């Protein structure tokens, strides 16, 4: 039967509750139900799923939806069953997670004609038993969701996706609709060619998401920045993307330590845990999901308010796809990415060992990401240009570069110089090669072409290579230059560029942007942003030392027992005004903060108020401690259970000296341990009393070396360390 516009609107209201279609949805659906192929390029949140769900419900037969993720399939099937109540058989998924009984149920519903949508993983589609089963049913059409997975230029390449056309031919012909939220012109062409639908009508929505804010931040202290940002946006849902599973786990743990409800999501977790963590995020039991790129494809959560990239993505396709998960309901969506040169080097290292052609493609995609991150131009304009769309406004008002514009200069001379260089050479070269020539940076490749003898070699040596790379990128955005993706990014001059060189005019460009090297993932995260070393408030520091001295006389304790110098120096930097603040200072901990901290907090609060001091942070980041000390919890629990230190050391493969060092680290952070049970078994009571009295009456600090020098050779270092730990726990902590 013919399906007219009136029928479609009626079914749209009946099944989905909407009164009208969004954007090109109605045109796409009408095209598909008429039996024609379609290619849909629609940003995340534009309503791609409806473009195949509604046709499937109104057309005869079963629609085969090829989808990449098991979690996404389940999410979509549950949604369809919710729209069409009382008929669970209307939608099924077919993948490796199903039991034999579930597979039989799917088969029965398919053969009876009850199923209108069947979601299939590409890997499942290639199995002979599944293709044989699908040959027995009437297929209304094939929908290839997340179609960018087809392309070797796509950001999530799946080999099975490139076999889809041959499998469709084996099952039986039907219209094909391919859908994706992100595809450059090159990727779009690759998808159409691979699926054999070059004549398909292309429906391309604007890539502009006006409600999203884009920002690139220097990756100097990303953990601290992230915690500050989330605390400034309480109760809002967000996704944080990391490139490694290890970083996902670490960051999720750190957020929880700092009072932020977060869970990890990556392919290394078992399927049940991944599903539970995703459901908790969807049901708002947690605020933040920390994930690798395995998370979020097609996720049905419209109110994600921020997407943070802890690591810069490998491609702009990936970046755009992932940021697109923010603000799908049209509301606020903040997209923040941290960038450092060190991350780029890591990503380049990951490419080593891959086929040369794949390395070249990966490097080209990475260079595009670098250019985007380092650019001072409107980020919205850059993104839309990358996907083949012009953005005509000069200022989008919703990115860091537009809200905080960098200094500009008339770049007509520099642009003409680049065009002249490219036109003067018979061969074409990549961005960095051209930049090296202009900056006068010779290398083996330049020498092999004898380009170090060119008249223009070093013509722009007043500027850096990075400066010239950025100017070339701005030339591409302005259509003076073009990049041949087929030839791995060789730069050429357009007719517009040649016209500009013949008749130059003022063009305002921006210079390069400097970024830090980036944090070292192997370094411990400091508890405070700044550490002791003379950088604090010297007036306050002297006042704190005077208070400590007065308190030590009053309590008959050595001053260091109350608070060590590093703790006072930390206080002079961070101005703690509560027990919560104070316990995060170096070497303090909760026990010591509560025992001795009251008068120090009062002094600091009064000092801050009287001097109108603006505290450097409204919060302190609680550290996970030493990330390498994975034994910490076991040691604490072992001592609580009064296990011998020898047994604890053996269980963790530690020497006794290493175990004592771990215990000293735990105690120095303010944790109180009771090792009296062990000391009473291994050290003579008289020796314990003598060492204990030394630390209480004579010691000028808690230095082990000073103690050994003062006590002399009659005392064993092992015994001194044990009693020192006992003293620190009972008195200092």
pLDDT tens digit sequence for 638-688: 898 889 999 998 888 888 888 998 888 788 766 778 999 999 988 888 889
What confidence score (pLDDT) does residue 528 get?
31
Contact 127, 290 (CB under 8 A): no
SS (H, E, C) 550-578: HHHHHHCCCHHHHCCHHHHHHHHHHCCCC
φ, ψ dihedrals at 635, nearest 5° = -65, -45
Length of the chain: 733
Tell me the CA distances in angstroms from 434 to 345, 478, 495, one per residue in order.
21, 18, 19
Q: Which class is 212-402 in CATH?
A: alpha beta
Segment 259-271 mean pLDDT: 87
What confidence score (pLDDT) does residue 584 get?
73
What confidence score (pLDDT) does residue 525 get?
33
Half-sphere exposure of 221 (CA within 13 A, CB side): 12
Segment 617-622 mean pLDDT: 57
Contact 214, 397 (CB under 8 A): no
CA distance 512 to 514: 7
Is pLDDT at 565 greater than 90 in this prediction?
A: no
Is pLDDT at 50 greater than 60 in this prediction?
A: yes
Higher pLDDT: 468 or 567? It is 468
φ, ψ dihedrals at 481, nearest 5° = -125, 160
What confidence score (pLDDT) does residue 487 get?
66
What confidence score (pLDDT) does residue 289 get?
95
Structure token digits, residue 67: 């989808």
Strand 38-41, strand 201-204: pairing = parallel
Give the pLDDT confidence of 59-111 residue by residue, as tens digits.
999 999 998 766 566 667 777 776 666 567 788 888 777 788 888 888 898 88
Judged by DSSP in three states, 161 sits in: helix
Is pLDDT at 294 greater than 70 in this prediction?
A: no
CA distance 155 to 506: 37
What confidence score (pLDDT) does residue 468 get?
92
Segment 547-572 mean pLDDT: 85
Query: Who's near 532: CB < 8 A, 6+ residues apart?
Result: 565, 566, 569, 570, 573, 586
- pLDDT > 90: percent of the chain: 31
What confidence score (pLDDT) does residue 620 get?
57
The candidate with the shortest Cα–Cα distance to 411, out of 467, 466, 464, 484, is 467
Is pLDDT at 731 greater than 70 in this prediction?
A: yes
The two domains 412-505 and 632-732 share their CATH topology (first three levels equal): yes
The candidate with the shortest Cα–Cα distance to 449, out of 425, 422, 417, is 425
Give the pLDDT confidence of 338-374 residue by residue, as tens digits.
998 778 777 877 777 777 777 777 777 887 888 888 7
Average pLDDT, the chain: 84
Give the pLDDT confidence of 433-442 residue by residue, as tens digits.
999 999 999 9
Q: Domain segments of the chain: what residues?
A: 5-204, 212-402, 412-505, 538-610, 632-732
What confidence score (pLDDT) does residue 535 get?
53
Is pLDDT at 526 greater than 50 in this prediction?
A: no
Strand 212-218, strand 201-204: pairing = unpaired
Contact 177, 142 (CB under 8 A): yes
Judged by DSSP in three states, 139 sits in: strand
What confidence score (pLDDT) does residue 305 get?
96
**Cα–chain center distance at 552:** 48
Q: Which class is 412-505 in CATH?
A: mainly alpha
Which CATH number describes the domain made up of 632-732?
A: 1.10.10.1390
Confidence of residue 405 (pLDDT cuts 50, 70, 90): confident
Tell whether the torsion through CA atoms of 234, 239, 240 and 244 is positive or negative: positive
CA distance 20 to 167: 36
Contact 191, 39 (CB under 8 A): yes
What confidence score (pLDDT) does residue 531 get?
34
Q: Structure pTM?
A: 0.58
Compute and round to an integer the Cα radius of gyration of the chain.
32
- Which is the CATH superfamily of the domain at 538-610? HRDC domain (1.10.150.80)
E-assigned strands of 467-569?
Answer: 481-484, 490-493, 508-510
CA distance 461 to 505: 23
- pLDDT > 70: percent of the chain: 89
Give the pLDDT confidence of 107-145 residue by residue, as tens digits.
898 888 889 999 998 888 888 888 888 999 999 999 998
Which DSSP state fits 429? B
Segment 509-518 mean pLDDT: 65
Whether CATH 3.40.50.300 fits 5-204: yes
What confidence score (pLDDT) does residue 662 get?
87
Is pLDDT at 533 greater than 50 in this prediction?
A: no
């Amino acid at each position: 039967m013919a399906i007219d516009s009136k029928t479609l609107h009626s079914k749209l209201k009946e099944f989905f509750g909407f009164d009208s279609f969004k954007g090109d949805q109605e045109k796409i659906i009408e095209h598909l139900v008429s039996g024609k192929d379609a290619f849909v390029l629609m940003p995340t949140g534009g309503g791609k799923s409806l473009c195949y769900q509604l046709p499937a419900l109104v057309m005869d037969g079963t629609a085969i939806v090829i989808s990449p993720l098991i979690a996404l399939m389940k999410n979509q099937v549950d949604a369809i069953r919710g729209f069409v109540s009382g008929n669970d058989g209307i939608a099924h998924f077919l993948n490796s997670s199903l039991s034999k009984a579930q597979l039989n149920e799917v088969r029965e519903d398919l053969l009876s004609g009850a199923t209108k949508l069947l979601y299939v993983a590409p890997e499942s589609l290639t199995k002979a038993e599944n293709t044989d089963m699908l040959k027995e049913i009437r297929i209304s059409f094939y929908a290839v969701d997340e179609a960018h997975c087809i392309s070797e230029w796509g950001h999530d390449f799946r080999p099975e996706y490139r076999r889809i056309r041959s499998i469709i031919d084996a099952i039986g012909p039907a219209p094909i609709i391919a859908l994706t939220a992100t595809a450059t012109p090159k990727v779009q062409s690759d998808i159409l060619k691979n699926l054999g639908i070059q004549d398909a009508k292309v429906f391309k929505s604007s890539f502009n998401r006006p409600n999203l804010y884009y920002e690139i931040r220097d990756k100097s202290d990303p953990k601290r920045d992230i915690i500050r940002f989330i605390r400034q946006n309480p109760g809002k849902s967000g996704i944080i993307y990391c490139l490694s599973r290890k970083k996902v786990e670490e960051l999720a743990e750190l957020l929880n330590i700092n009072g932020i409800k977060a869970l990890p999501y990556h392919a290394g977790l078992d399927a049940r845990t991944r599903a539970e963590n995703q459901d908790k995020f969807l049901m708002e039991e947690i605020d933040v999901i920390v994930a690798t790129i395995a998370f979020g494809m097609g996720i049905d959560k419209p109110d994600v308010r921020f997407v943070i990239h802890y690591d810069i993505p490998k491609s702009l396709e990936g970046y755009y796809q992932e940021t697109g998960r923010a603000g799908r309901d049209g509301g606020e969506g903040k997209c923040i990415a941290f960038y450092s040169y060190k991350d780029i080097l890591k990503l380049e290292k990951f490419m080593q060992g891959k086929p040369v052609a794949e390395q070249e493609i990966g490097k080209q995609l990475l260079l595009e990401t670098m250019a985007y991150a380092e650019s001072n131009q409107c980020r919205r304009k850059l993104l839309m240009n990358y996907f083949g769309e012009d953005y005509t406004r000069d200022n989008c008002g919703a990115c860091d570069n537009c809200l905080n514009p960098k200094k500009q200069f008339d770049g007509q001379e520099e642009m003409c110089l680049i065009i002249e260089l490219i036109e003067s050479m018979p061969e074409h070269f990549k961005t960095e090669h051209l930049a090296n020539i202009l900056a006068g940076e010779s290398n083996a490749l330049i020498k092999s072409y004898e380009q170090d003898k060119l008249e223009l070699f070093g013509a722009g040596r007043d500027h850096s290579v990075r400066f010239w790379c950025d100017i070339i990128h701005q030339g591409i955005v302005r259509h003076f230059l073009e990049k041949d993706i087929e030839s791995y990014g060789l730069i050429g001059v357009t007719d517009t560029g040649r016209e500009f060189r013949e008749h130059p005019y003022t063009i305002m460009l921006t210079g390069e942007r400097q970024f830090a090297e980036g944090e070292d993932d192997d370094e411990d995260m400091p508890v405070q942003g700044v550490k002791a070393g003379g950088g604090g408030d010297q007036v306050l520091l002297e006042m704190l030392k005077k208070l400590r001295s007065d308190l030590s006389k009053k309590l008959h304790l050595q001053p260091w027992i109350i608070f060590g110098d590093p703790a006072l120096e930390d206080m002079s930097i961070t101005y703690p005004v509560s027990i919560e603040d104070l316990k995060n200072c170096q070497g303090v901990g909760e026990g010591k903060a509560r025992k001795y901290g009251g008068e120090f907090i009062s002094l600091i609060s009064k000092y801050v108020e009287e001097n109108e001091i603006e505290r450097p942070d409204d919060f302190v980041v609680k550290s996970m401690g030493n990330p390498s000390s994975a034994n910490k919890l076991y040691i604490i629990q072992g001592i609580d259970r009064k296990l011998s230190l020898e047994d604890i050391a053996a269980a963790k493969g530690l020497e006794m000296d290493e175990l004592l060092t771990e215990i000293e680290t735990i105690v120095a952070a303010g944790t109180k341990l009771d090792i009296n049970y062990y000391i009473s078994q291994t050290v003579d009571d008289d020796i314990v009393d003598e060492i204990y009295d030394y630390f209480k009456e004579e010691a000028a600090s808690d230095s082990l070396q000073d103690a050994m020098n003062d006590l002399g050779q009659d005392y064993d270092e092992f015994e001194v360390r044990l009693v020192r730990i006992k003293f620190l726990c009972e008195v200092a902590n």
